[in-house]
Amino acid sequence: MRWPEALLSFSLVAAGVLHLLPLTGLLSAARLEALYGIPVRDASLELLLRHRALLFGLLGALLIAGAFRSELRAAAIIAALASMVGFLLLAVQVEGLAAPLRRVALADGLATLLLLIALAVHAWGPKGDSA
């Protein structure tokens, strides 16, 4: 595997792992509170946040699959970038963002950089599927 392909795969796997971390929120409201630093006392809010955890798990799995399956890469990168950039654009509008959500924004910023690298290698790097 050549270095551009290795960099692409690393970027996708690293971003995928970051997306898998919220999956623990599926376990309980207490875990959601720990992840996001907000009280989860309403069943509807818990449902929404648990569904968010599930969607992030699916997106993380797609990113990791994209590291090994070139036909999934473009979809994985575009979906993840849309999600993370969307969150970042919403987060900068919030005054007094809770510290755990600032950490989420920081992780999304890091993952966005990883995916921009992956996108550049995918779009302009050497062609050929060596994964």
In a domain, 37, yes or no: yes
Who's near 7: CB < 8 A, 6+ residues apart?
117, 118, 121
Cα separation, 80 vs 69, in Å, equals: 16
Average per-residue pLDDT for the chain: 91
Residue 128 — pLDDT band, cuts 50, 70, 90?
A: low
Residue-number span of the structural domain to which 63 is assigned: 3-123
Contact between 118 and 12 under an 8 Å Cβ cutoff? The reply is: yes
Q: Tell me if 93 is assigned to some domain.
A: yes
Q: Residue 128: inside a domain, yes or no?
A: no
Domain annotation covers residue 129: no
The answer to whether position 20 is within a domain reads yes
The span from the CA of 66 to the CA of 45, in Å, is 31
- What one-character DSSP code corresponds to residue 98? -
Tell whether 130 is covered by a domain.
Answer: no
pLDDT at 131 over 60: no
Q: For the segment 60-89, what is each residue's pLDDT rounded down to a tens digit? A: 999 999 999 999 999 999 999 999 999 999
Residue 116 inside a domain? The answer is: yes
